[in-house]
Structure 1
């Protein structure tokens, strides 16, 4: 009896325990990473649909049973799991993991997992964008995207950038990528009020702190959804949105300084200029008039009084050196940035709001940049079927620019190189030295002249969605982009450009209004568990209107700077431009068992840039992918986490030409105070789209728990029916006509590789990089009057079998050791030489202006709460031409008397037997040296360079410390940008990062900076 009772008792106890184990309970905890709590992480019970997300403190609470396994996942992090035991609390620590599973935006709001994308896309996340100290957010892409090449057109804050994705796709039509913000195509162009001063990018109006990510679309499979506008690639900008949870605040502040990234060409000191001038006088007159080099000064004082007066005055005043390079610099130019944001949300609404302030000084005198911005993103679930999204971004930018788009005498970058070191910047009484003729004293003009842009931009994105049925959704939206720039220019009457006119004043207002209306339906269809299809149909209309008005006047009373105060020659002008696009788009995505993917896109697009008969173009793309790692035969290869093949082929169009080029136009003018008209444009019947056919194929892989990830891609882009500007006979009264003629090819490879060398709780180390090549070649040019057209300029030529605008000139052969005269190769290649520049042949000089390879290499280290990031950028395989060398490296009086020479001239030929590339200096050039500075390879340099793009050291405080001071996050960082630059060609003294045309410019060079930042979350 006792035994039986004991058995029953044991059975009841076991049943009780089993029953208690089967009961659900609430398990809570915190999810964090190295920087603190992780809001938005997914916590699920493995094998069930039971899941929650962490709040802004990284906290979660979920129903689970003892024995259940909780799995935590977050984009870019490794999944972490733990088994539920007796405790009701489980805390998770996330570490950096596989980025191939991250979610990416691929076009028109489509969001996919990385392994569901068939196109070639690259995403740069918020951390890299925010950390970049430049005011234009697109600069964060340099070195982080394979196949994307970027050159800084000017170091002046807010300037536009030259961006090329997979090379140059057109000869005369546009080559700039399309920028899309939150799914809406936007306007990004130079909005400066004058073509003579610093450019002003509309992207500089966007605060980097508001950007969630930037995604670059490169192949037809990714870009064809944007039709013609995606011909040169697409850059998608996604702004930050609110997240569910209590209101959370973020404050970030950074302060730093910047200087020129490269020292640049060093001008002569006063003593060096004196030495070479006297040597030039001796080389010209010494033998004839029988004086030695030491006697050149005495002879010149009597015989060349006017030509040497400045030198003699400088000597008489004590030979004091004046460093105009230093005088034109704004040393340690300040950077100051402040951003404040709040994010909150509940089951129905989310809100993100921010304000920001940026002030960045230029490294050249007279220029700076200021921006104030505000942003609001709001979403609302109106009903079970209706959802609303709206955002507004408003900013005001002020840029004090400089004259730097040409050889302007008030350009401080020109003054730096051209101003004689014999000229004192100030008179003895402390007033400015104001030369009556020639160069301007930029110290004076920078202070007294005005070059001011003020850009106000308002962007608003609004959409609603209606869930018609479980699988069918309607989306409608309209977005606005309003940009207004007010420009004011003033030239002082005392000194500089305004002297001859009694002072000048100019003003202009540009108002650009761009709106995009979209209506689309999305349908999802599942045929069993294996087949899933997504369909999107979209109609889009885009309209752009630009109004411009300007005024000008001369003779202004002292102290007045506005056009209204001008007393003479008042003038005004105005213009209006508009264009529109209408598009019909269809997208179909098919997925079979997560193994096979197929994407189809068709787009019909009409552009007002073409006539009614030819304005419609049809474009398509087909993209496919095979996730090989999902196949059963791959299970034996346990070390393979991801292996996929993808390919795409499609067409896009390019319509980036001037408005109304298809029309025959009349222009207006005046004669004898009477209005008149004249033929201003020939027009082209049948002008239509430039067509690009794009092929892309690639492999993506992840090995050993994704410790090794990477990709290899091949692309081949053919541009047909180029929108080519052909020269016309002047007897027609016109210079050119645009036609659809010619073909162009770009092809190359792209490689990406990332390695997690060490993964642990307290120490992580990863390295990675990307590398890309591009070969640009003209494959067809039209035949006119029996002759194949070539486009030849002073330094370049465009011809079949060569790159667009390849370098084409005479080849410099150095200096004759016997007499110091310049030599050129007779055949333009090698062998026989000549001192007669005109008898030397012009020919191809090897390389194009655009780099044929580029890449970026990076490393990341976490050590407890410290972290280190570093990025290296390389580009090369191209040539850079040193513009204005005839003035800075001339052998005669232009350099040695009128302006100033530079360091390379110190290596000039001086006596028989000298081996050098620099000819002798002469006061009057002999026949052998008369054209020593004319266009030739003497000033054509290898453009290969390597730049330490970024180095960041930071510290993230631990959660336990943060809880004591009631903060959610606190971090410090010190970042250096462009700290070091290595240049292959020692003769290239200017910064190697030049514009896409390959010429050095008298512009503010790229900058290096050191910035300290603090980020606080509460």
Structure 2
């Protein structure tokens, strides 16, 4: 009996102890190197018991002392901890970049990075949001190898040029496709003005994207990566996932509110170092000229300066006697004035973003609002953007998954006129603010002189002939205005037919209206009667995608996944505009206040149907073969040429997973080898194959004397035999991580060939009745290397210890025109002016600069004329190559106990630039580079026309004014090698302990500066010139500066908080 009782008691005690142990509560926090890790899995090993961490990384779970807890999260190493007698277990998970990293690829397909056989660069939201730049494209500068991003100027909202792996088309677009939340996003740069009359500063529709609402950006560079987008992806693809479109519910978080507030000061990046020794005039004599080769400021009683150091007042002239009687006979102090320095103002950028989001196993949602207000470095350079977005996803009871995002953007922008200029004024009939302000003579008080005639409101300035617009008059009377309202949305429905097969359908819609106005009051020197041009442009895109998707394990080691999709797309553009001139009443910019008005219209529509397929075979998680193909049918070509098929294939092999000898290696932790082939095409603009009637009219008289209006016949001959441009590319690469993941490398090499290039304006014999046509000609090749690297230079052992990370990139691209379709030596100028522009010449780099040059003899000696100045050769020849030899970026980041310091340094080696800024300032003797002894004479190096060494002396004025690029294009060419501090930031994340008694979940403050320092090594020192400009605007032109606007620098702070 005692034995039975003892046995029962023993069992009872064991049961009580077991129950007691099972009810132990274990809690703690899971963190990673940057803070709490929400959504991490905590599982009791060998059971189904588990939980996830909340937004602050906290968890709580029931476990016994003998249990083992498994802590895991995708992209981090897994940890196992025995509970023992612990009730609090805090765990830090280390990042494992090689562990199932998932990236977004073409058509929004998510794949493990190890399985893709092409280069993909991913940029996270931390490197995008809360930055001084309001343009998402510029935020990407220096962050992706092989991606060249060039701003047109530093004006608020000015355009941005993006080129990935070089230029592949002469006249066609070379800009990448932007896809936002699965929506093909129109990023066109629209203007009613040509680049030479001010269109160079037009905004790109990147501006409609709020950088603070971006969750992630993936850049697909090679054709093997972009095949599924067809011809739209031929120049690369930038995939943007917004926070509203990021609807995954896998990371559960409670209701969260995020607030981002920032303010940044905007200033002109740099001004020249002006000399204050000499003033207005020529040959050391004072005159009211546009140059600074006049007498020394110490002159008294000589060279036009009286004994008191005065000269006649600039407005002391008969034409202004009744208007400004106070200046008649008045003296004017001949001294240096800081006119240019005071002309520019200090602006600012204020951004407010608010987001609300939540996610669970039942669904997720995100709502955000943002507002950006920017004032530039001149008062008529402004930009405002208002964004609203909402998105969500859910799974219905019937198993149907629904996700959607909605976005609305409104932008308002003003800019001053920025017509190109090569001399004292821009091209006739146009206006430019910067063309006349930067080379203001040092002895002219631009700030103190009246700029407007009080009687007729016309411009007045220091020139005796009043033949230059006063910059202040331009600033107050001429400007561009733009308003854009944009709406884009998508809805996706998917249904799992089985555990390995599903079907999905997505419909996307993107539309925007763009209202533009260019207005100039009468009274200007260049636009005497005034002008008003207004236009309304509506762009609309429908995009549908029906996709059958599968992912099936054939065996333990072999897996197959892929999809088949149908992708119809419709694009419509409608333009209506009116241009008026000869203003009646000054100051009223309405069309009924002008004498003459003419309308203009434009309409384009095209339909594209794409059918694509994609399949990947994976073997044992280390070998992957991907095959893709797409067939497009285009409405813009005749039936016999409108269909084209683009195949692609890629292979990825991971030796460190395939071979036992490489597994667990402390030196080589991860190695992937990849190779891929891809193809695409470039289709012509709509209606290039047909002959159309222009929308303008010609007026004739009939036999009764009545007027008859008839449509004008186009001078463009349609080409029904026009074919698409064909582009093919081979790419290979290596991805590696070494020394316990302390060093990472990503290297790509590629060879891209473009054939059947479409030339839009091939000249015809006028006897045909037409002047130009489109035709297929020639070949362009791009060969390059891209290197990305990361170094964890210093890693502390504990959280908060000092860390030092180095990330960078290096890239080189050789872009050659193998055949321009013409005779040997023929020159095809496709950008700029016919006598000075970018050209396609067989055997030369794409876009070489052609223009006039210095005459040379048979021995290549510079030839000097009888006046001692160089002789010009006006025959077009290659005078520069705007393509950089190579580019690199290094980003250093230091962190310690919540503090972080980051600096992004960029370097461009080579690449020539034609600079009117340099020519104008040097020729006018304005910068310190020209502050030499002007009383001496000089001899230019070279030979005379008879071959003898030059010994002809010329005045200092001629050295500068005649030989600085004004008259011979070659002399205005400079090597644009440059180094710059693109961005520097200092941030601090407040520790959780300080926030425990507040409603704040996190709080971070950042101090950020952009473009704070740069150096164009081979430009004259006194210019302080920044070559990061493009006066030909967004397009295929490059390497030109025509005084269309300087760059800017920005610095300030941002505050980021969550609740």
TM-score, normalization: structure 2? Answer: 0.85
Identify the residue that residue 414 of structure 1 maps to in structure 2: 435
> In the alignment, which residue of structure 1 is the partner of 2:644?
617
Give the corresponding residue for 1:518.
545
Which of these residues, 824, 842, 847, is aligned with residue 800 of structure 1? Answer: 842
After TM superposition, give the deviation of residue 884 of structure 1 in Å.
Answer: 6.1
Of 646, 662, 682 in structure 2, the residue corresponding to residue 654 of structure 1 is 682
The match for 1:483 among 499, 512, 519 is 512
The residue that corresponds to 1:360 in the other structure is: 374
Match of 1:742, SS state, is strand
User: How much does 1:624 deviate?
Assistant: 0.5
Q: 1:764 to 1:50 in 2, by over 3 A?
A: farther
Question: Match for residue 1014 of structure 1?
Answer: 1055
Is 1:373–2:401 an aligned residue pair? no
Where does residue 768 of structure 1 map in the other structure? 807
SS in 1 for 2:688: coil
Tell me the residue number matched to 2:1000: 967
Inter-partner Cα distance in structure 1 for 2:769 and 2:274 = 46
1:379 Cα deviation from its structure 2 partner: 1.0
Cα 1:279–1:577, aligned 2, differ >3 Å: closer, same or farther? same
Kindly provide the CA deviation profile for residues 753-808 of structure 1, in whole angstroms up to 9, marking residues without a partner as x.
21112222222211121101111111223256xx6743255345422221112234
Question: 1:453 Cα deviation (Å)?
Answer: 0.7
Distance in 2 between the 1:678 and 1:872 partners? 55
Superposed, 1:405-484 pairs within 5 Å as 405-407=419-421, 408=426, 410-425=431-446, 434-435=460-461, 437-484=466-513
CA contact (8 A) 2:149 2:161 kept: yes
Give the match's secondary structure for 1:960. Answer: helix
| 1:258 paired residue number | 266
Superposed, 1:394-409 pairs within 5 Å as: 394-407=408-421, 408=426
Query: What CA RMSD, in Å, does the superposition of the two structures yield over aligned residues?
Result: 3.8
Aligned pair partner of 1:604 in 631, 635, 640? 631
The one-character-per-residue Cα deviations of 1:947-996 (angstroms, maximum 9, x if unpaired) are 11111111111111111223100111101111111222032733111335
Identify the residue that residue 318 of structure 1 maps to in structure 2.
333
Q: Distance in 2 between matches of 1:973 and 1:571?
A: 52
Q: Quick one: structure 1 residues 851 and 783, their matched pair in 2 at CA, closer, same or farther if it must change by over 3 Å?
A: closer
Q: Deviations over 1:652-676 (max 9, x none)?
A: 1122x43211223333531445433
Deviations 1:92-125 (A, max 9, x none): 3345553775321111111122212211110111
Classify 1:559/1:681 alpha carbon distance in 2 versus 1 (closer, same or farther; 3 Å). Answer: closer
The equivalent of 1:934 in structure 2 is 967
Query: Following TM superposition, by how much is the alpha carbon of 1:49 offset from its aligned partner in structure 2, in angstroms?
Result: 7.3
The 1:194–1:393 alpha-carbon spacing in structure 2 relative to 1, beyond 3 Å, is: farther
Alignment of 1:580-979 (within 5 A): 580-631=607-658, 632-635=660-663, 637-655=665-683, 657-667=684-694, 668-672=696-700, 674-676=708-710, 677-725=712-760, 726-760=762-796, 761-762=799-800, 763-783=802-822, 789-791=826-828, 793-795=834-836, 796-808=838-850, 824-827=855-858, 829=860, 837-838=871-872, 844-845=878-879, 848-883=881-916, 887-890=920-923, 902-907=927-932, 911-912=936-937, 933-979=966-1012
Match of 2:704 in 1: none
Determine the C-alpha separation between the residues in 1 that align with 2:116 and 2:566: 23
Contact 1:490 1:561 in 2 (8 A): no
Residues 295 and 184 of structure 1: CA distance in aligned 2, closer, same or farther (over 3 Å): same
CA distance in 2, matches of 1:131, 1:305: 53
Q: Tell me which residue corresponds to 1:129.
A: 128
Alpha carbons 1:456, 1:485 under 8 Å: kept = yes
Question: Cα distance 1:51–1:856, how it changes in 2: closer, same or farther (>3 A)?
Answer: farther
What's the offset of the Cα at 1:932?
Answer: 6.5
- Structure 1 residue 482: deviation in Å? 1.1
Distance 1:912 1:924, change over 3 A: closer
1:247-306 deviations in Å (ceiling 9; x for gaps):
10011101120222233x456669433475529999xxx9xxxxx99965499xxxx999
Deviations 1:300-352 (A, max 9, x none): xxxx9999999x99993122544342243122x11111111010133322110
Counterparts of 1:12-23 in structure 2, within 5 Å, are 23=22
**C-alpha separation between the residues in 1 aligned to 2:532 and 2:451?**
28
Hey, what's the Cα distance between the residues in 1 that align with 2:751 and 2:103? 24
Note the residue ranges of structure 2 that are not aligned, 5 or more in a row: 294-298, 318-326, 454-458, 701-706, 943-949, 1031-1036
Q: Is the 8 A contact 1:107 1:183 kept in 2?
A: no
Give the SS at the match of 1:370: strand
> Is residue 389 from structure 1 mapped to residue 403 from structure 2 by the alignment?
yes
* Cα distance change on mapping 1:783 and 1:949 into 2, 3 Å: closer
The answer to whether residue 598 in structure 2 is matched with residue 571 in structure 1 is yes
Deviations 1:379-423 (A, max 9, x none): 121224201111111111110112114245753212222444454
Aligned partners of 1:514 and 1:257: how far apart in 2?
37
Query: What secondary structure does 1:139 align onto?
Result: helix
SS of the counterpart of 2:784?
strand
Q: How far apart in 2 are the matches of 1:651 and 1:553?
A: 47
Could you say if the C-alpha distance between residues 555 and 636 of structure 1 is closer, same or farther in structure 2, counting changes exceeding 3 Å? closer
Q: Secondary structure at the match of 1:108?
A: helix
| Deviation (angstroms), 1:476 | 0.8
Partner of 1:721: helix, strand, or coil? strand
Matched, 1:535 2:562: yes
CA deviations 1:853-910 (Å, max 9, x no partner) are 11211112220111111111122221111136664444xxxx5xxxx85554445875
Q: Relative to 1, partners in 2 of residues 1:613 and 1:556: Cα closer, same or farther, differing over 3 Å?
A: same
3-state SS of 1:146 partner: coil
Task: Judge which range, 395-404 or 797-806, deviates more.
Answer: 797-806
How far apart in 2 are the matches of 1:110 and 1:404? 43
Tell me: CA distance 1:74–1:807, structure 2 relative to 1, closer, same or farther (3 Å): farther
Task: Give the drift of 1:931.
Answer: 9.9
Confirm or deny: 8 A CA contact 2:1003 2:1055 kept in the other structure: yes
For residue 690 of structure 1, report the CA deviation from its aligned partner: 0.7
Contact 2:283/2:957 (8 A) holds in 1? no
Alignment partners' CA distance in 2, 1:153 and 1:927 = 28
- Structure 1 residues 21 and 58: CA distance shift in structure 2, 3 A: same
Q: Distance in 2 between matches of 1:870 and 1:99?
A: 26
**Aligned counterparts of 2:139 and 2:750: Cα–Cα separation in 1:** 24
CA distance in 2, matches of 1:987, 1:426: 27
> How many residue pairs are counted as aligned between the two chains?
978
Contact 1:504/1:566 (<8 A) preserved: no
Deviation of 1:547 after TM superposition, in Å, equals 1.4
Aligned pair partner of 1:245 in 226, 250, 253: 253
- Partner Cα distance (1:495, 1:844) in 2: 37
Alignment of 1:84-103 (within 5 A): 84-94=83-93, 98=97, 101-103=100-102
2:1028 to 990, 993, 1017: 993
- Call closer, same or farther: CA 1:794–1:1014 in 2, change over 3 Å: same
State the secondary structure of the residue aligned to 2:285. Answer: helix
Query: Using a 3 Å threshold, how does the CA distance of structure 1 residues 743 and 309 change in structure 2: closer, same or farther?
Result: farther
Cα distance in 2 for residues equivalent to 1:832 and 1:525: 75
Aligned to 2:324: none
Aligned to 2:348: 334
Quickly say closer, same or farther: Cα 1:506–1:170, change in 2 above 3 A: closer
